[in-house]
Amino acid sequence: MITVLAGGVGAARYLRGQLQTAEQVTAIVNTGDDIELHGLHVSPDIDTIIYTLSGQSDNDRGWGLCDETWTAFKEAKELGLDAWFQLGDRDIGTHLARTSWLQEGMSLSEVTTRLATARAVKCRVLPMSNDPVRTHVTLAAEGREVGFQEYFVQLGYSVPISGVRFAGADVAKPAPGVLDAVENADVVVIAPSNPVVSVGPILALDGIYEALSARKDRNIAISPLIGGKALKGPAARMMTELGERADAVGVARRYRDIVSTLVIDEVDGGLVEEVESVGVRAVVAPTIMSSLEAAVELARVTVASVS
Protein backbone atom coordinates (compact mmCIF):
# COMPACT_ATOMS: atom_id res chain seq x y z
CA MET A 1 0.00 0.00 0.00
CA ILE A 2 1.20 3.50 -0.87
CA THR A 3 -0.01 6.34 1.35
CA VAL A 4 0.09 9.89 0.03
CA LEU A 5 -0.21 13.03 2.16
CA ALA A 6 -2.22 15.32 -0.05
CA GLY A 7 -3.32 18.90 -0.64
CA GLY A 8 -5.26 19.73 -3.81
CA VAL A 9 -3.97 20.09 -7.36
CA GLY A 10 -0.34 18.91 -7.01
CA ALA A 11 -1.47 15.88 -5.03
CA ALA A 12 -4.34 15.04 -7.37
CA ARG A 13 -1.98 15.01 -10.36
CA TYR A 14 0.45 12.78 -8.51
CA LEU A 15 -2.27 10.39 -7.33
CA ARG A 16 -3.48 9.94 -10.89
CA GLY A 17 -0.02 8.59 -11.77
CA GLN A 18 0.35 6.58 -8.56
CA LEU A 19 -2.93 4.75 -9.18
CA GLN A 20 -1.55 3.39 -12.46
CA THR A 21 1.46 1.81 -10.74
CA ALA A 22 0.21 0.59 -7.35
CA GLU A 23 -2.61 -1.73 -6.34
CA GLN A 24 -3.65 0.07 -3.20
CA VAL A 25 -3.33 3.81 -2.77
CA THR A 26 -4.57 5.81 0.21
CA ALA A 27 -4.69 9.60 0.19
CA ILE A 28 -4.74 11.47 3.50
CA VAL A 29 -6.18 14.82 2.52
CA ASN A 30 -5.88 18.27 4.05
CA THR A 31 -9.11 19.73 5.41
CA GLY A 32 -7.59 22.95 6.76
CA ASP A 33 -8.95 24.76 3.66
CA ASP A 34 -12.53 23.64 4.37
CA ILE A 35 -15.09 26.37 4.73
CA GLU A 36 -18.77 26.66 5.58
CA LEU A 37 -20.35 28.94 2.99
CA HIS A 38 -24.05 29.83 2.68
CA GLY A 39 -24.79 26.83 4.88
CA LEU A 40 -22.76 24.47 2.70
CA HIS A 41 -19.71 22.50 3.81
CA VAL A 42 -17.03 22.91 1.12
CA SER A 43 -13.90 20.69 1.21
CA PRO A 44 -11.75 22.11 -1.61
CA ASP A 45 -8.83 19.67 -1.44
CA ILE A 46 -10.99 16.55 -1.11
CA ASP A 47 -13.08 17.73 -4.05
CA THR A 48 -10.05 18.52 -6.21
CA ILE A 49 -8.83 14.98 -5.63
CA ILE A 50 -12.17 13.28 -6.24
CA TYR A 51 -12.91 15.39 -9.32
CA THR A 52 -9.45 14.79 -10.80
CA LEU A 53 -9.36 11.05 -10.10
CA SER A 54 -12.81 10.59 -11.60
CA GLY A 55 -11.67 12.42 -14.74
CA GLN A 56 -14.17 15.21 -14.16
CA SER A 57 -11.95 18.13 -13.18
CA ASP A 58 -11.79 21.27 -15.27
CA ASN A 59 -8.21 21.47 -16.48
CA ASP A 60 -8.37 24.96 -17.97
CA ARG A 61 -9.84 26.62 -14.88
CA GLY A 62 -7.61 24.52 -12.64
CA TRP A 63 -10.33 23.82 -10.05
CA GLY A 64 -13.89 22.54 -9.92
CA LEU A 65 -15.77 20.29 -12.32
CA CYS A 66 -15.79 20.12 -16.11
CA ASP A 67 -18.95 21.02 -18.06
CA GLU A 68 -19.83 23.41 -15.25
CA THR A 69 -22.56 26.07 -15.37
CA TRP A 70 -23.03 28.99 -12.98
CA THR A 71 -26.78 29.60 -12.91
CA ALA A 72 -27.34 29.32 -9.15
CA PHE A 73 -24.34 31.49 -8.30
CA LYS A 74 -25.36 34.23 -10.78
CA GLU A 75 -28.95 34.15 -9.59
CA ALA A 76 -27.91 34.54 -5.95
CA LYS A 77 -25.64 37.47 -6.83
CA GLU A 78 -28.42 39.16 -8.80
CA LEU A 79 -30.65 38.77 -5.76
CA GLY A 80 -28.04 40.69 -3.80
CA LEU A 81 -26.16 37.87 -2.06
CA ASP A 82 -22.60 38.87 -1.23
CA ALA A 83 -20.97 35.80 -2.78
CA TRP A 84 -17.18 35.96 -3.30
CA PHE A 85 -16.47 32.22 -3.47
CA GLN A 86 -17.55 30.92 -6.87
CA LEU A 87 -19.69 27.80 -6.74
CA GLY A 88 -20.71 26.09 -9.97
CA ASP A 89 -24.02 24.27 -10.31
CA ARG A 90 -22.47 20.80 -10.47
CA ASP A 91 -20.15 21.67 -7.60
CA ILE A 92 -23.13 22.84 -5.51
CA GLY A 93 -24.56 19.35 -6.02
CA THR A 94 -21.51 17.90 -4.25
CA HIS A 95 -21.80 20.39 -1.41
CA LEU A 96 -25.53 19.78 -0.97
CA ALA A 97 -24.93 16.05 -0.70
CA ARG A 98 -21.97 16.45 1.68
CA THR A 99 -23.76 18.96 3.91
CA SER A 100 -26.97 16.93 4.08
CA TRP A 101 -25.13 13.75 5.02
CA LEU A 102 -23.08 15.57 7.68
CA GLN A 103 -26.30 16.99 9.09
CA GLU A 104 -27.78 13.50 9.19
CA GLY A 105 -24.88 12.54 11.47
CA MET A 106 -22.42 10.91 9.08
CA SER A 107 -18.75 11.72 9.68
CA LEU A 108 -16.68 13.56 7.07
CA SER A 109 -14.83 10.25 6.45
CA GLU A 110 -18.08 8.44 5.70
CA VAL A 111 -19.31 11.25 3.50
CA THR A 112 -16.00 11.36 1.61
CA THR A 113 -16.08 7.60 0.98
CA ARG A 114 -19.61 7.93 -0.32
CA LEU A 115 -18.72 10.81 -2.66
CA ALA A 116 -15.59 9.05 -3.94
CA THR A 117 -17.49 5.79 -4.50
CA ALA A 118 -20.31 7.58 -6.31
CA ARG A 119 -17.75 9.02 -8.72
CA ALA A 120 -16.00 5.62 -9.08
CA VAL A 121 -12.68 6.80 -7.62
CA LYS A 122 -10.28 3.88 -7.08
CA CYS A 123 -8.12 5.62 -4.50
CA ARG A 124 -9.05 5.37 -0.82
CA VAL A 125 -9.64 9.02 0.08
CA LEU A 126 -9.41 9.85 3.80
CA PRO A 127 -9.94 13.33 5.19
CA MET A 128 -7.09 14.00 7.62
CA SER A 129 -9.60 14.47 10.46
CA ASN A 130 -13.31 14.38 11.15
CA ASP A 131 -12.86 17.25 13.58
CA PRO A 132 -12.76 20.84 12.32
CA VAL A 133 -9.29 22.24 11.64
CA ARG A 134 -9.22 25.64 9.99
CA THR A 135 -6.17 27.37 8.57
CA HIS A 136 -5.83 31.06 9.38
CA VAL A 137 -3.13 33.44 8.22
CA THR A 138 -1.97 36.66 9.83
CA LEU A 139 -1.69 39.62 7.45
CA ALA A 140 1.72 41.21 8.10
CA ALA A 141 0.69 44.84 7.63
CA GLU A 142 -2.41 44.87 9.82
CA GLY A 143 -1.58 42.04 12.23
CA ARG A 144 -5.13 40.83 11.51
CA GLU A 145 -5.91 37.13 11.16
CA VAL A 146 -8.11 35.96 8.26
CA GLY A 147 -9.43 32.56 7.21
CA PHE A 148 -7.43 30.77 4.52
CA GLN A 149 -10.05 31.16 1.77
CA GLU A 150 -10.36 34.87 2.51
CA TYR A 151 -6.58 35.16 2.00
CA PHE A 152 -6.46 32.80 -0.98
CA VAL A 153 -9.61 33.72 -2.90
CA GLN A 154 -10.76 37.14 -1.70
CA LEU A 155 -7.29 38.70 -1.37
CA GLY A 156 -5.78 36.59 -4.17
CA TYR A 157 -2.79 35.91 -1.84
CA SER A 158 -1.40 39.29 -2.86
CA VAL A 159 -0.65 40.60 0.64
CA PRO A 160 2.32 39.62 2.84
CA ILE A 161 1.65 37.30 5.76
CA SER A 162 3.51 36.95 9.02
CA GLY A 163 2.06 33.75 10.46
CA VAL A 164 -0.08 30.66 9.89
CA ARG A 165 -2.26 28.92 12.47
CA PHE A 166 -4.25 25.68 12.24
CA ALA A 167 -7.18 26.39 14.55
CA GLY A 168 -8.46 23.21 16.16
CA ALA A 169 -5.41 21.10 15.27
CA ASP A 170 -4.42 20.83 18.94
CA VAL A 171 -7.60 18.93 19.79
CA ALA A 172 -8.46 17.30 16.44
CA LYS A 173 -7.91 13.55 16.14
CA PRO A 174 -6.70 11.95 12.92
CA ALA A 175 -9.69 10.40 11.12
CA PRO A 176 -10.20 6.62 11.42
CA GLY A 177 -7.65 4.78 9.30
CA VAL A 178 -5.24 7.70 9.01
CA LEU A 179 -2.59 6.62 11.52
CA ASP A 180 -2.92 3.05 10.34
CA ALA A 181 -2.36 4.15 6.72
CA VAL A 182 0.85 5.91 7.78
CA GLU A 183 2.14 3.08 9.97
CA ASN A 184 1.36 0.22 7.58
CA ALA A 185 2.22 1.77 4.22
CA ASP A 186 5.04 0.28 2.18
CA VAL A 187 5.92 3.84 1.25
CA VAL A 188 4.56 7.19 2.45
CA VAL A 189 4.79 9.94 -0.16
CA ILE A 190 4.38 13.61 0.69
CA ALA A 191 2.83 14.91 -2.53
CA PRO A 192 4.08 18.06 -4.26
CA SER A 193 1.59 20.18 -2.36
CA ASN A 194 1.95 23.49 -0.54
CA PRO A 195 4.21 22.56 2.44
CA VAL A 196 2.79 25.35 4.62
CA VAL A 197 -0.98 25.21 4.18
CA SER A 198 -1.64 21.83 2.52
CA VAL A 199 0.80 19.49 4.26
CA GLY A 200 1.28 21.64 7.40
CA PRO A 201 -2.21 20.95 8.81
CA ILE A 202 -1.84 17.18 8.36
CA LEU A 203 1.51 17.19 10.18
CA ALA A 204 -0.01 19.25 13.01
CA LEU A 205 -2.47 16.49 13.97
CA ASP A 206 -1.91 14.45 17.08
CA GLY A 207 0.43 11.51 16.48
CA ILE A 208 1.07 11.95 12.73
CA TYR A 209 4.48 13.57 12.96
CA GLU A 210 5.66 10.94 15.44
CA ALA A 211 4.29 8.10 13.31
CA LEU A 212 6.09 9.49 10.27
CA SER A 213 9.42 10.03 12.04
CA ALA A 214 9.33 6.46 13.36
CA ARG A 215 9.45 5.14 9.76
CA LYS A 216 11.37 7.97 8.12
CA ASP A 217 13.45 5.62 5.91
CA ARG A 218 10.39 4.61 3.92
CA ASN A 219 9.02 8.12 3.51
CA ILE A 220 9.73 10.39 0.55
CA ALA A 221 8.56 13.86 -0.50
CA ILE A 222 8.37 15.55 -3.89
CA SER A 223 9.25 19.23 -4.01
CA PRO A 224 6.36 21.43 -5.15
CA LEU A 225 8.89 24.21 -5.72
CA ILE A 226 10.72 24.10 -9.03
CA GLY A 227 13.48 26.62 -9.69
CA GLY A 228 12.39 28.46 -6.55
CA LYS A 229 8.82 28.89 -7.79
CA ALA A 230 5.47 27.21 -7.31
CA LEU A 231 3.80 26.13 -10.54
CA LYS A 232 0.72 27.85 -9.16
CA GLY A 233 -0.42 29.25 -5.85
CA PRO A 234 1.24 30.90 -2.87
CA ALA A 235 3.68 28.20 -1.64
CA ALA A 236 6.90 30.05 -2.57
CA ARG A 237 5.61 33.40 -1.47
CA MET A 238 4.37 32.10 1.89
CA MET A 239 7.67 30.36 2.63
CA THR A 240 9.65 33.52 1.84
CA GLU A 241 7.35 35.63 4.00
CA LEU A 242 7.70 33.16 6.87
CA GLY A 243 11.50 33.54 6.66
CA GLU A 244 12.22 30.24 4.94
CA ARG A 245 14.06 29.47 1.72
CA ALA A 246 11.51 29.14 -1.06
CA ASP A 247 13.13 26.30 -2.94
CA ALA A 248 13.89 22.59 -2.66
CA VAL A 249 16.30 23.31 0.21
CA GLY A 250 13.52 25.03 2.17
CA VAL A 251 11.24 22.04 1.49
CA ALA A 252 13.98 19.64 2.67
CA ARG A 253 14.36 21.64 5.89
CA ARG A 254 10.62 21.38 6.57
CA TYR A 255 10.54 17.61 6.08
CA ARG A 256 14.03 16.61 7.31
CA ASP A 257 12.76 14.69 10.37
CA ILE A 258 10.01 12.78 8.57
CA VAL A 259 11.42 11.79 5.17
CA SER A 260 14.71 10.20 4.12
CA THR A 261 14.52 11.40 0.52
CA LEU A 262 13.29 14.36 -1.52
CA VAL A 263 12.59 14.25 -5.25
CA ILE A 264 13.67 17.54 -6.80
CA ASP A 265 13.19 18.71 -10.33
CA GLU A 266 15.86 18.50 -13.03
CA VAL A 267 16.20 22.27 -13.10
CA ASP A 268 17.26 22.08 -9.44
CA GLY A 269 20.14 19.63 -10.04
CA GLY A 270 22.46 22.33 -8.69
CA LEU A 271 20.77 22.12 -5.26
CA VAL A 272 21.62 18.44 -4.57
CA GLU A 273 24.51 19.19 -2.24
CA GLU A 274 22.60 21.78 -0.26
CA VAL A 275 19.57 19.50 0.08
CA GLU A 276 21.79 16.67 1.26
CA SER A 277 23.57 18.92 3.77
CA VAL A 278 20.15 19.30 5.43
CA GLY A 279 20.19 15.52 5.98
CA VAL A 280 17.83 14.49 3.19
CA ARG A 281 18.90 12.40 0.19
CA ALA A 282 18.10 14.14 -3.10
CA VAL A 283 16.80 12.33 -6.18
CA VAL A 284 16.73 14.40 -9.37
CA ALA A 285 13.89 13.67 -11.80
CA PRO A 286 11.44 15.44 -14.09
CA THR A 287 8.66 16.46 -11.70
CA ILE A 288 6.28 18.50 -13.86
CA MET A 289 3.19 16.32 -14.37
CA SER A 290 1.99 17.85 -17.61
CA SER A 291 0.60 14.50 -18.79
CA LEU A 292 -0.60 11.26 -17.23
CA GLU A 293 2.56 9.55 -18.53
CA ALA A 294 4.73 12.12 -16.72
CA ALA A 295 2.79 11.51 -13.49
CA VAL A 296 3.12 7.73 -13.84
CA GLU A 297 6.87 8.04 -14.36
CA LEU A 298 7.20 10.38 -11.36
CA ALA A 299 5.26 7.91 -9.18
CA ARG A 300 7.48 5.07 -10.38
CA VAL A 301 10.72 6.94 -9.66
CA THR A 302 9.42 8.15 -6.28
CA VAL A 303 8.39 4.74 -4.96
CA ALA A 304 11.51 3.03 -6.36
CA SER A 305 13.73 5.57 -4.57
CA VAL A 306 12.74 4.37 -1.09
CA SER A 307 11.78 0.74 -1.56
Partner that binds at residue 174, options ligand GDP, Ca ion, none, CB closer than 5 to 8 Å by kind: none
d(CA 34, CA 51): 16
User: How many C-beta neighbours within 10 Å does residue 69 have?
Assistant: 11
Among 77, 53, 75, smallest CA distance to 65 is for 53
Stretch in the footprint of ligand GDP (CB under 6 A) among 4-12, 98-106, 138-146, 272-280: 4-12
Residue 216 CA: distances (Å) to CA of 18, 30, 161, 188, 223 = 20, 20, 31, 9, 17
Burial class (CB in 10 A: 0-12, 13-18, 19+), 278: middle
Output the smallest distance, CB 287 to ligand GDP, in A: 4
Note whether 168 and 131 are within 8 A (CB): yes
Residue 10 found at the interface with ligand GDP (CB under 6 A): yes
Query: Does the protein bind ligand GDP through residue 8 (CB under 6 A)?
Result: yes
48 is an interface residue for ligand GDP by CB under 6 A: yes
Task: Confirm or reject binding of residue 27 to ligand GDP (CB under 6 A).
Answer: no
Residue 200 interface partner, choices Ca ion, ligand GDP, none, CB cut-off 5-8 Å depending on type:
none
Q: Is 88 in the site for ligand GDP (CB under 6 A)?
A: no
Binding part of the chain for ligand GDP, among 130-138, 192-200, 250-258, 268-276 by CB under 6 A, reads: 192-200
Q: Which does 11 bind (CB under 5 to 8 A by kind): ligand GDP, Ca ion, none?
A: ligand GDP
- Output 101 or 239, the one with its CB closest to ligand GDP: 239
With CB cut-offs between 5 and 8 Å by kind, which of ligand GDP, Ca ion, none does residue 288 bind? ligand GDP
* The entry of Ca ion, ligand GDP, none that residue 112 binds, CB within 5 to 8 Å by partner kind: none
Answer for which of 288, 296, 301, 303 binds ligand GDP (CB under 6 A) is 288
Binding of ligand GDP by 201 (CB under 6 A): no
Closer to ligand GDP by CB, 92 or 262: give it.
Answer: 262
Asked if 32 touches ligand GDP (CB under 6 A), the answer is no
The Cα–Cα gap between 103 and 113 comes to 16
Site string for ligand GDP, 248-287 (x = CB under 6 A): ---------------------------------------x
- Check binding of 50 to ligand GDP (CB under 6 A): no
Tell me which of Ca ion, ligand GDP, none is bound by residue 247, counting a contact when its beta carbon lies within the kind-specific cut-off of 5 to 8 angstroms.
Answer: none
Q: Which stretch binds ligand GDP (CB under 6 A): 103-111, 117-125, 223-231, 266-274?
A: 223-231
Q: Which stretch binds ligand GDP (CB under 6 A): 153-161, 188-196, 243-251, 275-283?
A: 188-196
Residues forming the site for ligand GDP (CB under 6 A): 7-11, 13, 45, 48, 192-194, 198, 222, 224, 226, 230-233, 235, 287-289
